[in-house]
Chain A
Amino acid sequence: MAVNNGEPGSAERQSGFTRRGFISAGATTATLPLIAGRALAGTPAQRAEAPDGDGKMNVTLRVNGQDQRLGLDSRTSLLDALRDHIGVTGTKKGCDHGQCGACTVLMDGKRVLSCMTLAVMAQGQDITTIEGLARPDGELHPMQQAFIDNDAFQCGYCTPGQILSAIGCVNEGHAGSDAEIREYMSGNLCRCAAYPNIVAAVQQAKTEMKEA
């Protein structure tokens, strides 16, 4: 999927019929009534911010600078909200249990795991995904360019999480040496083991991010 200049989901929304759109439409139709029914059946007395009539909560997420108003089940993770409800699918689901780092995004500039964040708890914070890194003119973020320059991936599945985590690593000041980069990037697993090139990419981007 092409970099879509910070407009979440724009590529798919404009393209009309897509494979992903077809699959998700089918899945949504099949599962939504079930989930809503269970939510209502298991729900105690109504409380502040309780789900409205259809078992959904009104949730506003600020993703890559744009407000997204969604109706979500309280159980929806930030990861699923991004991918399945907003349509920004650059953030990947790996383990869904906080063990692989593929779902890493920035929240108010800090790297966090979107699989372990409930979407409803992410309101009011600035969420940055891989789609929000490139400049409007298409120029890649120095970390994205560094991953390309250093061949810092093979299959690419962990790459969006690696890049967001690497940006966090540099901004925290934890990219001082190769050893420090390895330690502070240990939350992002790469099954292809592109680790040496990832370290090289972080070293390259570190300098460019300082100059920028």
Chain B
Amino acid sequence: MRPFVYERATSPEDAVRAARGKVTANLPPVQAPGQFIAGGTNMTDYMKLDVMRPEILVDVNGIDRNRYGRIEEFDGGIRFGHLVRMAEAEEHPAVKAKYPVIAQSLQLAASQQIRNMATLGGNVLQRTRCDYFREATWACNKREPGSGCSAMDGINRRHALLGTSDQCIASYPGDFAQALIALDALVETQGPKGNRKIRFADLHVEPGNTPNVETVLEPGELITFITVPSGAWTRRSMYLKIRDRQSYEFAVTSTAVALDLDGDTVRDVRIALGGVATRPWRSREAEDALKGKPLTPETASAAADAAFAGAKPRKYNAFKIPLGKETVIRALLETKNMEA
């Protein structure tokens, strides 16, 4: 691990000031010299692998927990402080009862030790598990822009088929983010230029020609809150995760579904896909295929086809198309059977 200066911030202002550090050229946040650390489950891992190379590491755990470590229900939704731990959110009674897709997406992720450590703010920013990204001796456009992509013709079984580019096919690994994008979450941030709100759907970006740019955040910009609006669809929601082993594993394919039914007819539906895309992935195509129609195995199947219509498989990951479709179909039909 490279040397760094450790700083402990006691407020978001403090953290932003410390992380801004010395002024450098236009580097994306993941390559900026100042980095935040909270749970540390992603950051320390990638620092040991020499993938993350912060010069200043700003510990945000000293920020007021009474404000930024709380879950608050309000009229019309629920608000999570960025310091809420994954385990705290998954166990929260209101989250379990009213937003099951959120509780499940957290509970099915990582291990309890990691969920006790990892914060929600850090969770949504976790970086890809692409082995060629993690192992610093391989060419990787995300880690070293312009160096090439070893995954393209390598062992790309775990890689993305949606939102890819000819520069990068690394998949976004998270689960919670799929629930957030399905439920139209909003992210509040504090940065060098002040506070702003970002639609969760706009937070992450596709790799395109700059795979090292993963979000619209600026260097030194800290996620402070995540807000999820409630709706008729939030109670009837679930997260289905298909893995190589039953627990403590990233998704091969997954689906977040939230459903509002009028009898058997789909009034509204939200569908997000995990394990198959380069960023948290909302499938409007699948949603549009279902809206106003009865939810049956046939219409669910048509929605699944629409979800993967744009998929671009590589040598080893084509199996994710039929598997991903089955995941969507099963999630839709199981959600239909939930009591709303």
> Footprint of B on A, CB under 8 Å?
38-39, 41-44, 47-51, 57, 73-75, 77, 96-98, 101, 104, 110-113, 115-118, 120-121, 165, 168-169, 172, 174, 182-184, 186-188
Contact = CB atoms under 8 A, between A and B. Distances in A.
A45 to B, nearest CB: 8
B247 A116 contact: no
B240 to A, nearest CB: 16
Contacts of A115: 44
A165 B44 contact: no
Contacts, number: 108
Contact of B40 (A41, A75, A118): A118
A74 B3 contact: yes
16 contacts: A39-B3, A42-B2, A42-B4, A49-B8, A51-B5, A97-B49, A98-B45, A111-B116, A113-B41, A116-B45, A116-B114, A117-B40, A120-B59, A168-B116, A186-B247, A188-B111
A168 B112 contact: yes
Tell me which of A43, A112, A117 has the highest count of chain B C-beta atoms within 10 A of its own C-beta.
A112
Interface residues of B, number: 37
Given A42-B55, A47-B56, A186-B247, A118 B113 contact: no
B3 A118 contact: no
B65 to A, nearest CB: 12
A184 B117 CA distance: 15
A98 B22 CA distance: 31
Given A43-B3, A116-B45, A121 B40 contact: yes
A4 B40 CA distance: 31
A98 B5 contact: no
B148 interface: no
A44 B22 contact: yes
Given A77-B44, A113-B41, A116-B117, A187 B8 contact: no
B67 interface: no
A126 B118 CA distance: 18
A165 B113 contact: yes
A134 to B, nearest CB: 22
A159 B33 CA distance: 39
B61 interface: yes
A71 B249 CA distance: 37
Contacts of B21: 44
B5 A43 contact: yes
Contacts of B319: none
Contacts of B113: 98, 101, 104, 111-113, 165, 168, 187
A49 B45 contact: no
A47 B5 contact: yes
Contacts of A44: 5, 21-22, 33, 55-56
Interface in B1-22: 1-8, 18, 21-22
Contact of B247 (A74, A110, A182): A182
Contacts of A41: 3
B196 interface: no
B112 A187 contact: yes
A98 B39 CA distance: 12
Nearest to B46: A97
Contacts of A38: 3
Nearest to A125: B61
